[in-house]
Structure 1
Amino acid sequence: MNIRRKNINLKYINTFFHITKNLMLIKWCNLDKKICYYQFLTIFNQKNKKKNKHKFCLLDYIKFSSIFKFFFMKLKKVELLTSYLDKFLPLNYNFEYVKTISRLNNSKYKKIFVQFPDGIREYNIILNSLFQLNSRRICQVLNLGITSYGACCIEDYFAKFLGTCVVLHYGHSCLTPISESFVLAIYVFLEINFNWNTIINIFEKKTFLFLRKVFTLFSTVQYISILQNAKKELDLKFKLTFVHTNKPLSPGELLGCTCVKIDNFSNVMYIGEGRFHLETIVFSNFFLHFFQFNPFFYQLLKIDYNIVETLKERKVQILKSFQKKTNLAILSGVLGKQNNNLFLKKIESLISKKSIKILRVVMCEISFDILNKINYGIIKTWIQNACPRLSTDWNNFFIEPVLNSYEACVLFCSVKWKKYTYPLTYYSYKGEYWTMYATVKSFFS
């Protein structure tokens, strides 16, 4: 008799898992206990009706109730923990963890690898707990201790080395095709919401700034949806807004190394905090007026940069390198997807024609401390293939000139120095042959 009861209980347990296999755990948590019972009875009866088996009677219901109560109480505890942890996350940040968990529940992965930028690394413990509580399969969550600087820092190869099959990358857009990743890459844009009507009110109060002047809108990936909503509202009142499309980026999206050349616009409006992304527009468009709307302080600021002096310094560094073209070192960055092998082949073919000695150096993360230590006066010029902003932003910290891919092409006379613009189109499909998406024909033509 005891054996029979165990078999019956096992049958009910297997049926319960069969029903809940394709349902989200959070969905069950939000249901009432009576509704759960009723839903189970309905599905069980429909399943056994075709097989001419007996229906789920009252006696079976009593036998099953003790098992179901155990699972239901467990789900209720998960619901309470989830609601408790959710209070520690900022309300205006869309972490999309419910959508991410449903995606992971449909897969067979038990170990995931998560990357966070600096701005949300303080929430990594909360998000890890939410993943493990609400997912039926995830047993282990690994976090990368190194800061994720940008979308190019996707560590899919390192994730595969650790034995994980999924990479969750927070805070950046998808630059490289997912099909080219070593493991499944899931990008979470992490949208930040705020009252975008404030932008409309500021524009109405300060209409004199934009009177008879067309302006273009830019933002980072976190504010793309707000940018589109604000543009629709501004078009109804001003009819002077414009949003650039720079594939593979979203319309109006801006990266620290990728921007477009703006023609026939007198104003630029950037929605976001900080100055790193805004400087990209200034590099490519010297003589425009730049405004920044800070969504945290709800302020509109007029920004002025002395970019002309910075570009003069870059030209001086190229001239120094031209005088010291004796010992060159090509510095390859292997942080994520930064390295560009096609450019390396192109630049090596140009250097070999000049009969110059080349030293190849590979670094995970390029820093001026390490670079200055391994120099010892032997290497006179560095050509780095990691991030173009390393050369422009950290120029004064390097002992010897460190040129990016565009400046290296200027050094070896394959490209002319552009006087009125500094091209930062590194991840644009329209970029020239020193950029990431250049074709093989453009490289060796």
Structure 2
Amino acid sequence: MADAFSSNSENVIQRVVDVTVKTNAPLERLDELYHIKKTCDFISQHQFQKVALQFPDDLLVDSIAIAAEIERNSNAKLFILGDTSYGSCCVDEVAAEHVGADCIVHYGTSCLSVSKRLPLMYVFEQRPVDLEKCTSAFKELYPDTQSHIIILYDVNYAHAIDDLLTLLSPEYPNLVSSELVVEGEQCFSHNQIKRKHKDAGLSEEDNNQVLCLFGRQLFLKSGLSITDYSMFYVGQEGATLRNFMMTWNRCSFCSFDPITMTGRTESPSVNRALMKRYYAIERAKDANVVGILVGTLGVADYLSIIQQLKETIHRAGKKSYMFAMGKLNVAKLANFLEIDIFVLIACPENSLLDSSEFYRPIVTPFEMEVACNKNREWSEEYITDFRHLLPGGKSHVPLADQLEECDETDVSLITGALRSHHLLNSEPTESSSSSSLVLRNQTLTVATNSAASFLAGRSWQGLEQKLGETPVVKAVEGRRGIAIAYEEEGTSSR
């Protein structure tokens, strides 16, 4: 067997790996799949001159053909946005503004988060659904035809929901479906579902309860709440379904996967997921230094929630530092071991990040508020949309009056140690001592280390700029190839 670091292993490093690549869509089906004509009408109607087309990775294979067709039928200049700054489900307004775009056309899966900077059009990928098998799975999962059920779905299956309702409604009079609603006057969605409520089992006089969340509109019968309904989800297991299940955690969930064409009950995993999230809240209560991760620059009001989190964390006696690093991975966050816990500002679907592989836990703004705001308690309500936490939001809870706060102590459920709250409400008095610990009382101390002191204590502090010390030299051509065998080194063995 050859050594992995020897020149004999070049064929291993340079070998071609077989992967499944999506083939280009036929030109004659481009308009059917990507609504070319409607997109051109949208551009012409508003007289946009520069248009950004945002594609997820799996649809980039068709991006050139789509752009060519749109450019042929409109006078706009087009820019293709591929590798987005954050999740592909969010509208990348920052990248669009870099090219001076007048609007964005977003393709594929979307979280439907509110964006307010640029006019927007959604074009969902129309994935196939076997309605016969979906109907059969639904009837097996819900044998009681009088059950109150809400149909939820991934946006890529919105085109099939009307036909599914037509098949099920005669037998299930209490069946209703969510409708896609894109918030904001600047937004436009060609796939926005406009069905009459009475077609879904609701008469006009019954329709007096409307719930809008995650770009969906739910019409509930008079006298019923969301907990009186069961949920049937059409789509694959993933962030969208997880977001629904965490938010409506008191509802039973079933799903149908159009890829495997099977249905199943989803509810038993919710309690375990909630317990894991509660464990993360306890870690947040124990933390002294909090890192605020900026995971979106496009979702409306992200600056407001950052400011509110800073105030909440400070009032809880903790230090906070803000990080903007694009897409997250384990290696990036491992560079900041001084941080005890991170809180992620992102869209509802991307905020529920599984941090089991990371060196530090990652929580949501709601979980950080539960840990730091004593007026907010852990309950059956779980909030993934940070906009609801802001003043004026339906789940906003004001911070406790600072004058009424006192140093309260409790016991950590993780370490068993005594911990104190609200330790840093007032600035510590200056002392001639260089100690990094300031005595609060006979049993508790609080660290006053700053980011500068953390950096000074590191063995590696980053590359030194040495401005004015490094001589200016003429640029030279660099090496080519891979580290194990640069081209100029020939084929000599090592």
TM-score (norm: length of structure 2):
0.59
How far apart are 1:422 and its partner, in Å? 2.8
Q: Kindly indicate whether residue 79 of structure 2 is the aligned counterpart of residue 144 of structure 1.
A: no
Distance (whole Å) between structure 1 residues aligned to residue 372 and residue 176 of structure 2: 38
1:113–1:159: 8 Å Cα contact kept in structure 2? yes
1:364 has 2:349 as partner = no
- Identity, % of aligned pairs? 16
Report what 2:3 is aligned to.
none
For structure 2, the residue ranges without an aligned partner over 5 or more in a row are 1-23, 184-191, 194-210, 401-494
Query: Residue by residue, what CA displacement relative to the aligned partner does 1:341-371 show, whole Å, maximum 9, x if unpaired?
Result: 2222222223333443332222333333211
1:282 aligns with 2:216: no
CA contact (8 A) 2:51 2:101 kept: yes
Whether 1:165 and 2:102 are equivalent positions in the alignment is: yes
Classify 1:273/1:243 alpha carbon distance in 2 versus 1 (closer, same or farther; 3 Å): same
Secondary structure of 1:145 counterpart: coil
Question: Is the 1:254–1:277 Cα contact (8 Å) retained in structure 2?
Answer: no
1:124 aligned partner? 63
Give the counterpart of 1:403 among 363, 373, 387.
Answer: 363
Cα distance in structure 2, aligned partners of 1:174 and 1:391: 14
Alpha carbons 1:118, 1:147 under 8 Å: kept: no
Quickly say closer, same or farther: Cα 1:332–1:145, change in 2 above 3 A. Answer: closer
**1:67-146 maps to which residues of 2 (within 5 A)?**
87-88=26-27, 94-106=33-45, 108-135=47-74, 137-146=75-84
**Alignment partners' CA distance in 2, 1:340 and 1:258:** 23
Alignment of 1:381-392 (within 5 A): 381-387=341-347, 392=352
Tell me the amino acid that sits aligned with residue 83 of structure 2.
G
- Name the counterpart of 1:262: 226
Q: Distance in 2 between matches of 1:310 and 1:203?
A: 25
Q: Match for 1:438: what amino acid?
A: G
The 2-side partners of 1:184 and 1:391 are apart by 25
2:231 and 2:254 in contact (8 A); partners too: yes
C-alpha distance in 2 between matches for 1:331 and 1:91: 38
Matched-pair contact (CA < 8 Å) for 1:192–1:222: yes
Q: Which of 305, 318, 321 is residue 281 of structure 2 equivalent to?
A: 318
Instruction: Pick from 438, 441, 444 the counterpart of residue 393 of structure 2.
Output: 438
Asked whether the 8 Å contact 1:346–1:444 carries over to 2, the reply is no
Task: Give the SS at the match of 1:164.
Answer: coil
State the SS of the aligned residue for 1:121. helix
Name the structure 2 match of 1:308: 271
Q: Is the 8 A contact 1:189 1:221 kept in 2?
A: yes
- Take 2:107 and 2:349, find their aligned partners in 1: how far apart are those partners? 22
Query: Is the CA contact (8 Å cut-off) linking 1:256 and 1:280 kept in structure 2?
Result: no
**Cα distance, 1:342–1:444 mapped onto 2, change above 3 Å:** farther
TM-aligned CA deviation for residue 174 of structure 1:
4.9
2:227 alignment partner, SS class: coil
Cα RMSD between the aligned structures?
3.9
Pick the structure with greater CA Rg: 1
Q: Which moved more, 1:332-341 or 1:311-320?
A: 332-341
Q: Give deviations 1:209-262, integer Å, cap 9, x for gaps.
A: 335433221012233343244224422222131335796577899859999983
CA distance in 1 between partners of 2:318 and 2:41 (Å): 56
Q: How far apart, in 2, do the equivalents of 1:207 and 1:413 lie?
A: 41
CA distance in 2, matches of 1:174, 1:207: 29
- 1:162 maps to amino acid: V
Instruction: Give 1:345's aligned residue.
Output: 307
**Equivalent position amino acid for 1:220 in 2:** D
For residue 408 of structure 1, report the CA deviation from its aligned partner: 0.9
Q: Alpha carbons of 1:365 and 1:240: their partners in 2 closer, same or farther (altered >3 Å)?
A: same
Structure 2 residue 367 is the aligned partner of structure 1 residue 418: no
Instruction: Give the aligned residue type for 2:68.
Output: S
**Would you tell me which structure has more helix in proportion to its own residues?**
1
Conserved in 2, the CA contact under 8 Å of 1:115 and 1:167?
A: yes
Tell me: CA distance 1:285–1:94, structure 2 relative to 1, closer, same or farther (3 Å).
same
Which string of whole-angstrom CA distances, capped at 9 and with x for unpartnered residues, describes residues 84-136 of structure 1?
Answer: x872576896311111123334555454211112442322122122223333x
8 Å Cα contact 2:104-2:120 kept in structure 1: yes
1:380 to 333, 336, 340: 340
> What secondary structure does 1:238 align onto?
coil
Greater alpha carbon shift after TM alignment, 238-247 vs 94-103: 238-247
What is the CA distance between 1:154 and its match in structure 2?
1.5
Decide whether the 8 Å contact of 2:179 with 2:217 is kept in 1. Answer: no
The offset of 1:324, in angstroms, is 2.7
Aligned residue type for 1:343: I
Separation in structure 1 between the aligned mates of residue 131 and residue 399 of structure 2, nearest angstrom:
47
Tell whether 2:171 aligns with 1:215. no
1:292 corresponds, among 255, 259, 276, to 255
Say whether 1:241 aligns with 2:180. no
- What is the alpha-carbon distance in structure 1 between the residues aligned to residue 383 and residue 324 of structure 2? 25
Contact 2:113 2:214 in 1 (8 A): no
1:403 offset after TM fit, Å? 2.0
